[in-house]
Structure 1
Amino acid sequence: MRILLTAFVPFGGDSLNSAQEAVKLVPGRVDDADILKLFVPVVFCKSVDAVVSAIEREKPDAVLCIGQAGGRTAITPERVAINIDDARIPDNEGNQPVDSPIATDGPDAYFSRLPIKTMVQRMSDAGIPASISNSAGTFVCNHLMYGVINHYPDLMCGFMHVPYMDGQGSPSLAVDVIAAGIVESIMAILEVL
């Protein structure tokens, strides 16, 4: 079993990204699955290209993409990605699309292919703050979730936001707690593979 675990690099002037730092702490093997890690540029088109290339190369059984959402108090698997880019700030290459469809011939939205309720339940049972989010936003996180599912509609894949880590902003969680939440989410995915 192989799980592709992705995280974004820092963006928006930050020197760290809680998603990237937490993914670094996730072990290379969880239960019977090899965990393949990929750090993704915070650039609209390049993000999808990087993950699609990794999927083609590694042939994972599932893909879990992780991103930072400052202001959230819990780890939040995303229920849906919408077919729109509408950037409040530029990406790391200065792109700032406004009201632009991600795929002109694509559906309005895609639902996560991951067992998001089981992911939340496992995290909650472990004492980790978690809830389902119904909006992945309209920045690169949403773009990546939509783009990957658009390329691979039958692959078990989806996106999860994590809060700031301690010392980065408020509210926050300890980075090892975020990493533990990611591991619990991987375990939930393995239950259905």
Structure 2
Amino acid sequence: MKVLITGFDPFGGEKINPAWEAVRALPDNIDGIEVVKLQIPTVFKKSAKKLFENIDSVKPDVVICVGQAGGRYEFSVERVAINVDDGRIPDNDGYQPVDSPVFEDGENAYFSTLPIKAIVEEVKKAGIPAAVSNTAGTYVCNHIMYSLLYYLNKNNLNIKGGFIHVPFIPEQVVEKKNTPYMELTRITKALEISIKAIRDYEKDLVISGGKEF
């Protein structure tokens, strides 16, 4: 199995992005699974273009995109991406779309094809807080998740794909009061576990992962 896993560069005034730091700390081989790591820009459109090019060249079996979700406590495995770009802040190229479709000819939403509940359960077994998330936001994280699933769908590619959000790491919250974080080593470990779970679970677990809000 070959996995292409991506992480964003820093954005929003941060000097570091835990998504990329955790991704690049992964080994190149996990129990015989080849791991190809890619940094992508926190930029609408440009991030998707780079991802598509690498899907075509790497020809992975699985694509996992990883992003920062400052303020979340948990390793969050995303369920769905929506066809909306609505930037709370400009991206790293200064572009700030408002209520724009990611792709005009795309579906309203695409669902992850990863075994999201199995991933969560395996990560929790390792003592790492994890949960299914039902919103990837409307910034570049949702944009790349939607773009990934759109591309796989439109090109009929037999590739599994999805997105994971990770919390801040400790050095990002030194000046932020009452802000949750997770150690980088635990995030990287959770990503390793996620990759193994994708290999081990052909079908997802049928268990509750819902939330009231």
User: Same fold by TM (over 0.5)?
Assistant: yes
CA distance in 2 between partners of 1:29 and 1:86 (Å) = 37
Q: Say whether 1:189 aligns with 2:194.
A: no
- Structure 1: 5+ residue stretches without partners: none
Alignment of 1:164-175 (within 5 A): 164-169=168-173, 170-175=179-184
Aligned to 1:161: 165
State the Cα distance separating 1:31 from its structure 2 match.
1.1
State the Cα distance separating 1:159 from its structure 2 match.
0.3
- The structure with the larger Rg is 2
State the Cα distance separating 1:115 from its structure 2 match.
0.5
State the Cα distance separating 1:51 from its structure 2 match.
0.8
Alignment of 1:97-136 (within 5 A): 97-136=97-136
TM-score (norm 1): 0.98
Alpha-carbon contact 2:118-2:201 (below 8 Å) kept: no
State the Cα distance separating 1:192 from its structure 2 match.
3.6
Alignment root-mean-square deviation, CA: 0.9
Q: Spell out, residue by residue over 1:73-109, the C-alpha distance to the aligned partner (whole angstroms, 9 max, x if none).
A: 0100100000000000000000100000111111100
Q: How many residues align?
A: 193
CA distance in 2 between partners of 1:100 and 1:185 (Å) = 32
TM-score (norm 2): 0.89
CA distance in 2 between partners of 1:168 and 1:190 (Å) = 32
CA distance in 2 between partners of 1:129 and 1:42 (Å) = 26
Alignment of 1:9-28 (within 5 A): 9-28=9-28
**1:138 alignment partner AA:** T
Aligned to 2:138: 138
Alignment of 1:82-93 (within 5 A): 82-93=82-93
CA distance in 2 between partners of 1:6 and 1:82 (Å) = 19
Percent identity between matched residues is 48
Structure 1 runs of 4+ aligned residues shifted over 2 Å read none
Alpha-carbon contact 1:149-1:155 (below 8 Å) kept: no
